[in-house]
Chains A and B, each alone.
Chain A
C-alpha cells in the first residue's frame, strides 16, 4: 500500500468493472481444484498418466464452454494469455500470411489493436483508421467505401472499453464477407455480456478475455474460423500447442477459470444485464441534471454496465481522487507537463478541455442497487468541491 493510501479513507464500492472484474467465487473454487496434488495439477499434454489425462479433460471442457459462449466450434478455440495476445495473434497472424496490403480499423479501438497495426504500418502495410460519429458508432457506408482490392482484414471491437458503445457486428460481418475481407472482432468487453455467435455474425477471428467477465486475469482465447479454413501465422513457438498457433504449456487452472466464467455468464447474463442496466440508468438519471455533465457515447446502443461522462470545469485526476466512496477510472492523468486526453473521447468530438475530465463508471455482477445512490452523491459532492476552488475563468 502506498504512503498516500495509509491515512485516506478508502472507497468501498468498486465501479471499475470495465478495467477488470472480481473473480466469481464459483470460478475461484473451480480454479482451486487444479493446483495441488489432489487435483488437476498435471500438464494437460502429458498423456502417459491419468493425472495428465484428467487435466486434458478439464482443459477440453473449458474449450467447450468458450465455444458455447462464442458460437465457435471446439477446434476453432485457441487459448491465449488474454485479449491483448489474441488481438496481436489475429492481426499479426493474418499479416504473416499475406504480402503487405491494406487493413481497416477504427480510431476508437483499444491499444492492443492500434499498436500491432502501427507495427504493420512500419513494414509496408497501409492502415486506415475510421472515425466514429458523435455517438461512437461506425459509419457502415464509410467502412464499405474504404475497402480496397488489397484489403486483407477489418478489425472492429464489439464493445468499446471506454464508452461501452456496441458496434453492429452482424452488419459489419455481412459487408466483410460480401467483399471477401477477413473480419476480426475484439470481443473482450462483450463476451459474457452480449449474445455472440461468430458464425451467424460472419466473424473470422474473435478475441476473448476472461477477466472482463469475472474470470481470472492472464487467460483468454482467439477463435479462428476453420470452415473454410483460415490460416494465420503464429507468434509463439516451442511445442506446437493449440494446433501450432500458440505454443506453451496450457495453464489448466486458468483455462478452467475461463471455462467456468463462461458457464456462469451463460447462466446469469440475462438476469445480470437487466439488473446492471437498471443500476447504470439509475445513476445517469441522478447525474444528468448537474450542469456541465455530458454523456459520452450512445445510451441506446451500449453495454449494460458502462457509464462514461465528461465533467466540465474540473480536472480529471482530481475528480477521481476527490471521490471518497467509489473506485472508477478517469480518462486522463497529469503525469507530465502535458496532458494526453482520451483518444476515444477526442474522436467523439469532445474538446481537449472536455476530454480532460471524464469518468468511466462501470457496474458489474457484484454491485448492489444501494451503490447507485452512494455513487451519485459521491460524484456530485466531488464536482461541487472542485468547482468551488476553481478560478472563475474555469467556472465560466
Chain B
C-alpha cells in the first residue's frame, strides 16, 4: 500500500470531483472489479455544439484505490481548458509518469483513460 507523494496528495485532496451535471459521462471498470471511474465532460466556447475552438471542462467521480482516484483527478486536471481535439492525445503512459505508478498500479491509469475515451464518444454524439 505504498504510494508516491503525487498519488497521496491527489488522493487526500482531489480537486476535480464532479458535483453538478455535465454534457457527457464516460465510465470504465466495475464495482465488482474493485474500481469504477467516471469522467464527466462539458464543452466551453462551443458554437452550435461544435468541437471546433471548444475547450473542455472536466471532472471525475471514482470508486477505487488511491491510485485510481489520483489517476482520475490528474486526468481531469489535464483536460480542463484543453481543446477537445487534443484530449485523445492523453494516454495512460502520461498518467503513469506523472504519478510514478508502479507496475501493479498501472491498470488504474488505464481505467481512467478508458473512461475518458467513453466520455469523448458520448460528447461527440
Which A residues are closer than 8 A to B by beta carbons? 2-8, 313-315, 317-318, 320-322, 332-339, 352-353, 356, 386, 388-394
Is B65 an interface residue, CB under 8 A from the partner?
yes
Q: List, sorted by A's number, 7 A–B pairs whose CB atoms are closer than 8 Å.
A: A313-B63, A315-B34, A318-B11, A336-B104, A353-B31, A388-B17, A393-B36
A321, B32: Cβ atoms under 8 Å?
A: no
A4, B69: Cβ atoms under 8 Å?
A: no
B42 to chain A minimum Cβ distance, whole angstroms, is: 17
Is B83 an interface residue, CB under 8 A from the partner?
no
Given the known inter-chain contacts A314-B63, A334-B67, please indicate yes or no for A389 contacting B5, CB distance below 8 A: no
B20 to chain A minimum Cβ distance, whole angstroms, is: 12
- Nearest CB in chain B to that of A321: its residue: B66
A263 to chain B minimum Cβ distance, whole angstroms, is: 36
A318, B64: Cβ atoms under 8 Å?
A: yes
Residue with the highest number of chain A CB atoms closer than 10 Å, among B32, B33, B65, B107:
B65
Bound: A386/B17 CA distance, A? 11
B104, A4: Cβ atoms under 8 Å?
A: no
B2 to chain A minimum Cβ distance, whole angstroms, is: 5
Given the known inter-chain contacts A4-B2, A317-B1, A318-B11, please indicate yes or no for A391 contacting B65, CB distance below 8 A: no
Task: Give the number of residue pairs across the A-B interface with Cβ within 8 Å.
Answer: 89
Closest 6 CB pairs of A and B: A334-B65, A339-B34, A394-B63, A390-B63, A317-B65, A391-B61
B36, A320: Cβ atoms under 8 Å?
A: no
A335 partner residues in chain B, CB cutoff 8 A: 104
B69 to chain A minimum Cβ distance, whole angstroms, is: 7
Bound: A3/B35 CA distance, A? 25
Bound: A318/B37 CA distance, A? 14
Q: Per-position contact with A for B31-70: 1 when CB-CB < 8 Å, else 0?
A: 1111111100000000000000000000011111111110
B97 to chain A minimum Cβ distance, whole angstroms, is: 16
New A-B contacts (17) at CB < 8 Å, excluding given A3-B4, A334-B35? A7-B8, A8-B8, A314-B63, A315-B35, A315-B64, A318-B69, A321-B3, A321-B66, A333-B65, A334-B64, A339-B34, A352-B32, A389-B14, A391-B36, A392-B61, A393-B31, A393-B36
Given the known inter-chain contacts A320-B1, A334-B68, A353-B31, please indicate yes or no for A4 contacting B63, CB distance below 8 A: no
Bound: A8/B12 CA distance, A? 9
B5, A6: Cβ atoms under 8 Å?
A: yes
Is B78 an interface residue, CB under 8 A from the partner?
no
A391 partner residues in chain B, CB cutoff 8 A: 27, 36-38, 61-63
From B1, B17, B60, B65, give the contact of A315 (CB < 8 A): B65
Is B7 an interface residue, CB under 8 A from the partner?
yes
A389 partner residues in chain B, CB cutoff 8 A: 14, 17, 60-62, 69
B12 partner residues in chain A, CB cutoff 8 A: 8, 322
B60 to chain A minimum Cβ distance, whole angstroms, is: 8
Given the known inter-chain contacts A4-B3, A391-B38, please indicate yes or no for A318 contacting B27, CB distance below 8 A: no
